[in-house]
Chains A and B, each alone.
Chain A
Amino acid sequence: MDWKKFFIAFVAAFGFIFVFGFLWYGKLMHGAHSEVPALWRTEADFGSHFSWLVFGHIVMAFFLTLLCSKFVPAGGPGPCAKLGILVALIYVGVDLIWFAVQPLTTKILGGMIVGDLIQFGVAGAIIGAIYKSSSPVAR
């Protein structure tokens, strides 16, 4: 495994996932979220838990990069974007389950589904574009 490229791909994926999450969930879907305020932490409470948000995104980006490097050792944006979308489908499944058990609105559910597909599809493409193993890797 080419660890230098792996690290760069991981950092780039983390940067994208974090910025996209801020814009999509924090800005674009802010109005939809405010329809069910009881489901969210208050601004001050969120501030004191912010490190969890950062650490959670680091874990997601790291393991998505690791998965891409195992799944597509040769790299490439197309195959890794495909993997990202497949991983997003797992999260979409979880979104549907959450919708059944939490009082989320259909607007929030729709935003989560579209957000997951874009977030992981593009993150996969970024990882694939950067990560290319220097030698053939046996699975």
Chain B
Amino acid sequence: MKRFIVAFIAAYVFMFAWGWLLNGVLLKDVYAETPNLWRSQSEMMSLFHWIIIGQALLIFAFVVIYASGFAGGGVMAGIRLGILLEIAAIGMRMAIYAIQPFPGKLIIYGSVNGLIEMIIVGAIVGAIYKPAAARTV
């Protein structure tokens, strides 16, 4: 349980910092091309807690999936899980692209970012979380 919590916190801190750097700084101009699709800055800030809860839920589910079916495989198993989940998410992004008028480059940037992000999240979780049996061997 202790390693579960440490893995969760480490992956969460990474995702939060990465998300801020990428979406809040690097892609700011790309988002600005479609202002009608986004909330205003002040509105986003008033709903910021949903970003924190959403990221926490995402990381929690990731660590639970890893701990339930992939634990013991180490960093590589975590990376594999991250890649599998992110490619499924790219499928979701393609479906969203069909119904919302996003610029294509935003979907490409989001997918590349997501892949890097989930590979690193997987590596962090795989490096930190180990099942009790593996630790005692």
Residues of A within 8 A of B77 (CB): 139
- B84 A70 Cβ-Cβ under 8 A: yes
- In Å, the complex CA distance between A46 and B93 comes to 15
Q: How large is the interface on B (under 10, 10 to 19, 20 to 34, 35 or more residues)?
A: 35 or more
- B38 A86 Cβ-Cβ under 8 A: no
Q: Give the residue name and chain of the B residue nearest to A45 (CB).
A: B101
- The A35-93 residues at the B interface (CB cut-off 8 A) are 38-41, 45-46, 49-53, 55-64, 66-67, 70-72, 83, 86-87, 89-93
Q: Give the residue name and chain of the A residue nearest to B23 (CB).
A: A101
- In Å, the complex CA distance between A38 and B53 comes to 26
Residues of A within 8 A of B94 (CB): 52-53, 55-56, 59
Residues of A within 8 A of B72 (CB): 139
- A52 B54 Cβ-Cβ under 8 A: no
- In Å, the complex CA distance between A82 and B70 comes to 15
Q: Give the residue name and chain of the B residue nearest to A53 (CB).
A: B98
- The A92-116 residues at the B interface (CB cut-off 8 A) are 92-97, 99-103
Partner of A64, one of B36, B69, B88: B88
Partner of A53, one of B69, B84, B87, B99: B99
- In Å, the complex CA distance between A21 and B92 comes to 11
Q: Check B65 for interface membership: any CB of A closer than 8 A.
A: yes
- B47 A93 Cβ-Cβ under 8 A: no
Q: Check B128 for interface membership: any CB of A closer than 8 A.
A: no
- A56 B92 Cβ-Cβ under 8 A: yes
Which residues of A approach B to under 8 Å, CB–CB?
Answer: 21, 38-41, 45-46, 49-53, 55-64, 66-67, 70-72, 83, 86-87, 89-97, 99-103, 139
Q: Given known contacts A72-B69, A101-B44, what 17 new A-B pairs fall within 8 Å (CB)?
A: A41-B98, A49-B97, A50-B98, A52-B94, A52-B95, A56-B91, A56-B95, A56-B98, A59-B91, A62-B91, A86-B64, A86-B65, A89-B58, A90-B85, A96-B50, A97-B55, A100-B50
